[in-house]
A = this chain, B = another copy of it.
Amino acid sequence: MVSSAPLNLPVLAREPKETTNQWVYRSLRRAVMIGLVPPGRALTIRDVAAALGVSAMPVREALRRLSTEQALEVRDNRRIMVPQMTASKFRELCELRISIECHAAERALPYVTTQRVDDLTAIDRRIDQVNAAGDREAVTMFNQDFHRHLYEANPNQVVMPLVESIWLQLGPFVRLALSKLQDFYQVDRHSEALAALKRQDPLALRIAIEADIRDGITHVGTNELLKAYVESAGQPS
């Protein structure tokens, strides 16, 4: 079987003080998160290096970093690929995400100022805008911004790296699955979260965050999502 399409990676704009390393990492991360790299397709160092026009060195480190973050998987063959998703693994990731993010929200709550609530409200409005415009990718990104900006109210940050790892693992699958959905947001759980923040109500906040996550991912039923995903996925090596 001829597997390889020439690996068309979206080349992100390179920021001013950024090292090649960081730039390659951002580009690869974005590609994985968007679902551009099919699971089971081997990511070779030389291919990625050629696609981005750099040497092997920064690519090696970016691939290893993403592997450490569980976004990629290093097989015994030393081949690196996007891990295959299964229904039960997906469920496990969702429950873990809910557990960690509810914890993060609760630990952030005491530090949330009215200024931050305003910022969050602004982000929420932007989500509504891009959602109305049908821009699913922007919805995903701004939604992540909303959650990140909430959790980072806590000045002693230890949870965000773990959350980002889970987002990365769910990312490619959710993206692919979301394209099959009709209406993304039914109830605005963010409003409920914002209300809970204003009242400094931990329990209500947890409930809103959990509902928000479930709505965003699981409310149409895991099976359909997974089916759409598996159908579009490649075979393992």
Contacts and interface: CB of A to CB of B under 8 A. Distances in A.
B107 A95 contact: yes
Interface string A148-192: 000000111111011001100100000000000000000000000
Contact of A162 (B86, B89, B107, B162): B162
A8 B165 CA distance: 33
Contacts of A60: 61
Contact of A100 (B70, B92, B99): B99
Given A60-B61, A65-B64, A88 B165 contact: no
Nearest to A104: B96
A212 interface: no
Interface residues of A, number: 30
B103 A96 contact: yes
Contacts of A155: 88
A68 B70 contact: no
A93 interface: yes
Interface of A: 60-61, 64-65, 68-70, 86, 88-89, 91-93, 95-96, 99-100, 103, 107, 154-159, 161-162, 165-166, 169
Given A92-B157, A99-B99, 10 more contacts: A61-B64, A68-B69, A70-B158, A86-B156, A89-B156, A89-B158, A96-B103, A99-B103, A158-B166, A162-B162
